[in-house]
Amino acid sequence: MPSVQVSGVIPNTIREGTGLGAWVAGLTLTGDTARLTAIELTGAAALNFSAHWDAVLQLATLDVAAPIDFESFAAGRTQPQLVFGMRFVFDDGSRQTPTTTYRVAVIDQDDTPPDSLRFATTVPPVAGAIGSTIGTLAVTDPDSAGPFSFSFSAEDDWRFEVVGSTLKLRDGISLGLDEMPGHPLFINVSDGRQSAAFTLNLTVTDPGAQESAVAVVAAETPQHGFSLTEPQRVVALHEARDVTAANTYGEDIRQLMLAQGGEVWLPSVQKLQLADVLP
């Protein structure tokens, strides 16, 4: 029975997506090469490579037959390597299958763009609030862990920015009442090699519907000498000249700015009695 002997080595790695001619291996054959008619590849990765026999050079050449996708190994939960063997066919119909197994590790490369963009955390911006922090962005990319860069359409680029992974309004910028209840924000995400565009729908809230997060004067909690003595009456130890400004927020809360630098938050009351004003 005819047989051949194989010598030489093949590259032990290949980058995913490698095309025809970019990865080539040469093996020298000796023995009954005059009777050799074909070389077949065997094993799980047989279809990823092709084999060509050059009788003049006595050389078997291996080349890529089909591009390899690194992510397919993760999907199949298998080790990223290509395993194959060789089988030699002779002119009498006999076949020789050596025991040698070839293993080629597949190297990942960034050939896939980001595939999702979402909020990891978010605080809906309030219409009219300047420079608001909107939320933390989370990107999913099969080929990259970042860092990622973000860009916006010309319509939004002057209003929005991403600092690190935090989406916010630029300093001095706010969203208008006309953008309630929502604003579609188009964001392009790049991993440095590949990019993809996404749309995040921002919820824009009504400033009149926001609840106060400040503590207001109550009967049990006076502030800076201001006390709630009756449901609709606040008595102060300060004179009128001690109050430098008064601001109204909706119908339920008032802010008084004091000359010494403090502030007092009042509930909706009908009467404020200062020390230099007769009751």
Residues 136 and 203 grouped into a single domain: yes
Provide the β-strand partners of residue 90: 36
SS3 of 189, please?
Answer: strand
Which residues lie closer than 8 Å to 150 by C-beta, 6 or more apart? 137, 162, 167, 187, 188, 189, 190
| % residues pLDDT > 90 (the chain) | 51
**97 CB contacts (<8 Å, ≥6 apart)?**
42, 85, 86, 87, 88
**42 and 92 housed in the same domain:** yes
Q: In the prediction, which pLDDT does 52 show?
A: 94
Distance CA 58, CA 249 (A): 91
Last residue of a domain, one of 208, 234, 252: 208
- The per-residue pLDDT for 47 is 93
Q: Are residues 164 and 246 in the same domain?
A: no
Cα dist. 58→20, 36, 87 in Å?
Answer: 22, 10, 16
Tell me, yes or no, whether 191 and 127 share the same domain. Answer: yes
Q: Is residue 215 part of a domain?
A: no
Q: Looking at residue 170, which CATH number applies to its domain? A: 2.60.40.60
* Sign of the dihedral defined by the CA atoms of residues 219, 222, 227, 231, in that order: negative
How many Å apart are CA 81 and CA 128, to the nearest integer? 56
Q: Are residues 30 and 101 in the same domain?
A: yes
What distance in Å separates the CA atoms of residue 87 and residue 36, rounded to the nearest whole number?
11
If asked whether residues 98 and 150 sit together in one domain, one would say no
3-state secondary structure of 74: helix
Q: Are 258 and 245 in contact (CB under 8 A)?
A: no
Q: Are 106 and 80 in contact (CB under 8 A)?
A: yes
> What is the model's pTM?
0.50
- Distance from C-alpha of 198 to C-alpha of 141, rounded to nearest angstrom: 13
Whether residues 10 and 103 share a domain: the answer is yes
Residue 218 lies in a domain: no
Give the count of domains, the chain.
Answer: 3
* Domain span including residue 160: 116-208
User: What's the distance, Cα to Cα, between the start and end of the chain in Å?
Assistant: 123
pLDDT of residue 23: 92
Is 181 within the bounds of a domain? yes
User: Are 147 and 129 in a shared domain?
Assistant: yes
Q: Please identify which residue in the block is written with the tokens 């070839």.
A: 102
pLDDT digits (tens, 9 = 90+) for 255-264: 888 888 788 8
Q: Are residues 161 and 202 in the same domain?
A: yes
Instruction: Give pLDDT tens digits for 108-160.
Output: 877 788 999 999 999 889 988 889 999 999 999 887 888 999 999 999 999 99
CB 4 within 8 A of CB 33: yes
Q: What is the pLDDT of residue 211?
A: 56
Least confident of 10-14, 92-96, 193-197, 255-259: 255-259
Q: Is the pLDDT of residue 212 over 60?
A: no
Whether residue 47 lies inside any domain: the answer is yes
Instruction: Return the amino acid letter for 73.
Output: F
Write down the pLDDT at residue 269.
78
Q: Report yes or no on 258 lying in a domain.
A: yes
Q: Is the dihedral of CA 107, 109, 111, 112 positive or negative?
A: positive
Largest distance between two CA atoms of the chain: 124
Residues 64 and 11 in one domain: yes
Q: Are residues 98 and 126 in the same domain?
A: no
